[in-house]
Amino acid sequence: MSRVVSFAHVSAGYRHRPVLQGVSVAFAAGEVTGLVGPNGAGKTTLFRVALRLLEAESGNVRLLDRPLSEWPAQSLARTLAYLPQEAEAHWPVEARRLVALGRLPYRVRFAPLNDADEQAINDAMARCDATTFASRSMNQLSAGERARVLLARALAVGAPVLLADEPAAHLDPAHQLRLMELLRAEAARGTAVIVTLHDLSLASRFCDRLVVIDEGRVVADAAAGEALTDDVLRSVFAISARRLENSVVPWQRI
């Protein structure tokens, strides 16, 4: 598979507080890669470096085989779609209007939506099963419906890379499963989907590959069954787990 985003020996942090420490990892088109690890391990920081919201202190990041630093801001916004952690929208804005924000990287300021924008919005909402409530206000939608609208906003960008930071958090099990199915469908279209997750059962079931990060370092990078070994579960997460087919179910604290 084609590697679309790559980190080589990247270190980054905040005000002399190191977070990422020499991280080397690459992400492929057409694949769902899960980033898993304890709170504070560096998962969101890796996203912030990729989005150029945080400058790497050392190492190199390449996007589509081009140094990240060389990308113009507008081109970067068209290439990396981002669904942020704790993304919420309870204000009374129409769902379709919120999805339309995904087209901002293509629009001249104050310009109306063109045919390409309208098509991208319609396609994104259809792929997320959000068309039926497109005209409803976000504050009238359930948590699962809002999650699908927010994902549709990211998909409306039409980017080859999607970064989703804890998109399943705060959803009930049925909506978590639906969201992960949507991410798998997006990868099947050729998108490189990179998703951070705390739910190891979801991660092991729906991700093609897992990258385990602990204390700013990659400690495992493999298919789920190979990445979440008993040793990794013990040393990184302080848990033991039971295994159901390809799914890892956290079972007890150690």
Residues 158-171: tens digit of each pLDDT: 999 999 999 988 88
Cα separation, 161 vs 27, in Å, equals 9
% pLDDT > 90, the chain: 82
Distance in Å from the first CA to the final CA of the chain? 37
- pLDDT, residue 88, reads 63
CA angle, residues 88, 94, 95, in degrees to nearest 5: 55
- What average pLDDT does this structure show over 170-199? 94
- What average pLDDT does this structure show over 79-91? 80
Cα separation, 235 vs 221, in Å, equals 15
> Average model confidence (pLDDT) for the chain?
93
CA angle, residues 198, 214, 42, in degrees to nearest 5: 75
Torsion of Cα atoms, 124 then 128 then 131 then 137, to 10°: -100
The answer, yes or no, to whether residue 246 has pLDDT greater than 90, is: no
User: Hunting for tokens 């293509």 — which residue is that?
Assistant: 106
Task: Read off the tokens for 30.
Answer: 């057409």
CA angle, residues 177, 2, 221, in degrees to nearest 5: 60
Cα separation, 237 vs 160, in Å, equals 32
**20-36 residue pLDDT tens:** 999 999 999 999 999 99
User: What secondary structure, in 3-state letters, does the chain show?
Assistant: CCEEEEEEEEEEEECCEEEEEEEEEEEECCCEEEEECCCCCCHHHHHHHHCCCCCCCEEEEEECCEEHHHCCHHHHHHHEEEECCCCCCCCCCEHHHHHHHHHHHHCCCCCCCCHHHHHHHHHHHHHCCCHHHCCCEHHHCCHHHHHHHHHHHHHCCCCCEEEEECCCCCCCHHHHHHHHHHHHHHHHCCCEEEEECCCHHHHHHHCCEEEEEECCEEEEEECHHHHCCHHHHHHHHCEEEEEECCEEEEEEEC
- Of residues 244 and 200, more confidence is placed in 200
Q: How confident is the model at residue 10 (pLDDT cuts 50, 70, 90)?
A: very high
The answer, yes or no, to whether residue 4 has pLDDT greater than 90, is: yes
Question: φ and ψ at 143, to 5 degrees?
Answer: -60, -40
User: Is 5:192 a contact under the CB 8 Å cutoff?
Assistant: yes
Parallel/antiparallel/unpaired status of strands 247-253 and 239-244: antiparallel
